[in-house]
Amino acid sequence: MLNRRHFLSLSSLLLLPVSRVVEALVPNHQLLNITLKSEKKKWFSNYSPIILWGSDVEKIILKQHENVQIEVKNELSDATSLHWHGMRVKNNMDGVSGLTQAPIAIGSSFTYNITAQDAGTFWAHSHHNTYQQLAMGLYFPLIVKEEEEYKVDQDLLLVIDDWRINEHRQLDLESLGDFSEWAHGGRKGNIITVNREIEQSYLCKVGQRIRLRLLNAANSRIMTLQLPVLPTWILAKDGQPLTVPIKLDKAITIGPAERYDLIIDVTSSAGNYPIYEVSTTQNIQVATLNVISGKDIVPSSSSPSALPENPLAKLDFDQISHSTKLLMEGGAMGSLRQAKYQGEVLSVNELVKNKKIWSFNGTAGIDDKPLLSAKSGEMIEIEIINNTRWPHVMHMHGHHFKADSEHYPKGIWHDTLLLLAKEEATIVFRAGDVGKWLLHCHMIEHQASGMVTWIEVT
Ligand SMILES: [Cu+2]
């Protein structure tokens, strides 16, 4: 039986305009056109629609190995660029404005040439004035389907975001750039959406096996999701399959930009099964699985099979050619006294005047020199030392790595890694394509205020 709340959310779903899901299913050089523009969402009755930044696509679905040209037209009121997070693209397609491309000016276009090397759950998001543009919603998910279909009864995608809303029920733009937040845990929103809607509900049937793709699109909120008590496994992380799916029997923590693919077996009876975000004292209901009777025969709930491996280069831990440290310092209650900024050593007071408060190896903001330079194919090891009182979520562009972190199943791949306050972790990867690859904190206010470096592959 649907209660009134769920009836409202289901009926509002039916009234939504049909948005565009671009499926590029014809291999080889298909051209997609995407327009970046503002969009209106009727989230609050009795208020004008809220205006977000987005695009004319809801998501992109590609097939593994497919090559596409994606012409991105910028109809926003600011220059921009798109980064294809987790996708192993050529460096000049990586979308980092100021490093791998000039920003796409207002009214102009840029064509990204992308080959979907790996199947999995990825996303595209702004990499220009990111702390503003990401907070305004400039992103969309990108799913690369396995060559051979991985059979489930439903494939659900939940892109979870938090938004800062003001008293007029519009995006609170005035608080963008609040430096106190930058020096602490970053910008947090006051409402949570799934797939850019409030109170999403998903219809499932008893007996179904569901692939649930989770993506944290927030600027800085580290989310902990309490899923329904149903047999659940982790199938993939950051787009890369686990060799053996691992049973999940507790809440799952997802840092900004991280993705998880889960398998959930709906073995219980009909009813509403909420998903809560429980990282704060408030338990926020973010979505509901609305389970109705179905197959009648409840599955035996056997472990799901693994996804086929993606063609990542194998790691050889005995052949590491480059070993370096990355010391994180700064932030509120930190010990940072000075740091190099644009070639000059500045005191903390002077750094703050330049909106910098975090450093990597004594440098705040991007440096002319890379953290390290390696030849394509060489093995790299970076020991990350979080000597701050804050968590950070490190994202390596263009590469997946392994890490000796205790919070994650052993031996899995990441493109984004959560490090808690004072934690250390060593990441190991093989240098990929030639170019300049960014390495930064994906709590985007931390990136903006200093936590960014890059590696050079020659
Ligand atoms: Cu950070």
Give 77 Cα–ligand 1 centroid separation in angstroms.
Answer: 28
Give 376 Cα–ligand 1 centroid separation in angstroms.
Answer: 28
Give 447 Cα–ligand 1 centroid separation in angstroms.
Answer: 7
Give 374 Cα–ligand 1 centroid separation in angstroms.
Answer: 25
Give 68 Cα–ligand 1 centroid separation in angstroms.
Answer: 33
Question: Which pLDDT value is given to residue 199?
Answer: 82
Question: Which pLDDT value is given to residue 335?
Answer: 86
Q: How confident is the model at residue 16 (pLDDT cuts 50, 70, 90)?
A: very low
Give 390 Cα–ligand 1 centroid separation in angstroms.
Answer: 7
Give 409 Cα–ligand 1 centroid separation in angstroms.
Answer: 22
Q: Which has the closest alpha carbon to 92: 437, 378, 394, 373?
A: 437
Give 264 Cα–ligand 1 centroid separation in angstroms.
Answer: 31
Give 334 Cα–ligand 1 centroid separation in angstroms.
Answer: 13
Residue 336 has pLDDT above 60, yes or no: yes
What CATH topology corresponds to 154-292? Answer: Immunoglobulin-like (2.60.40)
Taking only the tens place, the pLDDT of each residue in 86-122 is 999 999 999 999 999 999 999 999 999 999 999 999 9
Give 418 Cα–ligand 1 centroid separation in angstroms.
Answer: 9
Residue 324 has pLDDT above 70, yes or no: yes
**Where along the chain do its domains lie?**
4-145, 154-292, 320-457
Tell me the average pLDDT of the chain.
93
Taking only the tens place, the pLDDT of each residue in 62-92 is 999 999 999 999 999 999 999 999 999 999 9
Of 15-24, 308-317, 391-400, the range with the lowest mean pLDDT is: 15-24
Give 454 Cα–ligand 1 centroid separation in angstroms.
Answer: 15
Give 225 Cα–ligand 1 centroid separation in angstroms.
Answer: 20
Q: What is the mean pLDDT of residues 428-457?
A: 98
Give 21 Cα–ligand 1 centroid separation in angstroms.
Answer: 33
Give 99 Cα–ligand 1 centroid separation in angstroms.
Answer: 20
What CATH topology corresponds to 320-457? Answer: Immunoglobulin-like (2.60.40)
Give 179 Cα–ligand 1 centroid separation in angstroms.
Answer: 14
Give 342 Cα–ligand 1 centroid separation in angstroms.
Answer: 20
Taking only the tens place, the pLDDT of each residue in 180-189 is 999 999 999 9
Total-model pTM: 0.93
Q: What is the mean pLDDT of residues 175-181?
A: 95
Give 388 Cα–ligand 1 centroid separation in angstroms.
Answer: 9
56: left (phi over 0), alpha (psi -120 to 50) or beta: alpha
Give 82 Cα–ligand 1 centroid separation in angstroms.
Answer: 21
Give 9 Cα–ligand 1 centroid separation in angstroms.
Answer: 35
Give 442 Cα–ligand 1 centroid separation in angstroms.
Answer: 6
Give 444 Cα–ligand 1 centroid separation in angstroms.
Answer: 7
Amino acid sitting at position 13: L
Question: Which pLDDT value is given to residue 298?
Answer: 63
Q: What is the mean pLDDT of residues 424-437?
A: 98
Give 157 Cα–ligand 1 centroid separation in angstroms.
Answer: 26
Residue 17 has pLDDT above 60, yes or no: no
Give 424 Cα–ligand 1 centroid separation in angstroms.
Answer: 14
Give 387 Cα–ligand 1 centroid separation in angstroms.
Answer: 11
Give 104 Cα–ligand 1 centroid separation in angstroms.
Answer: 27
Give 268 Cα–ligand 1 centroid separation in angstroms.
Answer: 39
Is residue 74 within 8 A of residue 109, CB to CB? The reply is yes
Q: Do domains 4-145 and 154-292 have the same CATH topology?
A: yes
Give 446 Cα–ligand 1 centroid separation in angstroms.
Answer: 5
Q: What is the mean pLDDT of residues 389-399?
A: 98
Q: What is the CATH number assigned to the segment(s) 4-145?
A: 2.60.40.420
Q: How confident is the model at residue 291 (pLDDT cuts 50, 70, 90)?
A: very high
Residue 9 has pLDDT above 90, yes or no: no
Give 357 Cα–ligand 1 centroid separation in angstroms.
Answer: 11
